Amino acid sequence: MTDTVTEMNQVLAEADCLVDEQQVHAAIQAMADAISHRLEGSNPLLFCVMNGGLILTGQLLTRLKFPVQAEYLHATRYRQETTGGILEWKLRPDADMTDRSVLIVDDILDEGTTLEAIADYCRAHGAREVLTAVLVDKQHDRKARPNLKADFTGLKVEDRFLFGFGMDYKGYWRNAPGIYAVKGL
C-alpha cells in the first residue's frame, strides 16, 4: 500500500499541469451556460458516466438553473488500466428515456468508443435526442469516427495521458484539482 501511495505522489509531482483549477472552473461554467441555453424547458434526463464523469457532473448540476433529472450509468473500457479494451457495462441505465432529451456527461472524449456506445444505447431505448458533454476533448486523429465531437466541450487538450478532475491514472488522482499529463506519456 505504501509503495502505491509513494508511486502516485511521484506521478503527480512529476506531471505537467496542462490546465489549472481556475481554468477548469471557467470551462465548466461556459459548458453550463451552453447546456442551459440548449436544454432549458426540455425536461432533460442527464446521465453521469461513472466514475470519470462524477466530478464534472457534480460541478455542472449546481450551475444548471432549470429542473433536470440526474441519473448515472457505468460503462468502461479501461478498468484502471492505461489502454482501453472491450466495452463493459457495469450498470446500465434504467430510467425511462422514451421521447426525452438525454445528456450524457463524461470526463473525456478520447477515441469516443465508449461515449458512442452509450449514445447508441440511449437512442435504442427511445431517447428523442442524445447530446454529449465532456470536460476534455483529447486532440488526435484516432476518433471512433471522423469528426467525432461532443455537443458540449469544456477544454481541448493535447494527446497525452491525462488525469485529474475525474480522469484517473491507474484508478488514482481523479481528485487532482486541474488537468495533468503523466510525465513521458
Asked if residue 128 has pLDDT above 70, the reply is yes
pLDDT confidence of residue 35: 98
Asked if residue 46 has pLDDT above 90, the reply is yes
Confidence label for 77 from pLDDT (cuts 50, 70 and 90): low
Asked if residue 72 has pLDDT above 70, the reply is yes
pLDDT confidence of residue 87: 73
Asked if residue 13 has pLDDT above 80, the reply is yes
In sequence order, which residues have a C-beta less than 8 Å from that of residue 152 and are 6 or more positions away? Answer: 31, 34, 35, 38, 131, 132, 133, 134
pLDDT confidence of residue 1: 58
Calpha distance 170→9 (Å, rounded): 13
What domains does the chain contain, in order, with CATH numbers?
21-181 (3.40.50.2020)
% residues pLDDT > 70 (the chain): 95
Q: pTM of the full predicted structure?
A: 0.92
pLDDT confidence of residue 76: 76
Cell of 44: 432533460
pLDDT confidence of residue 85: 57
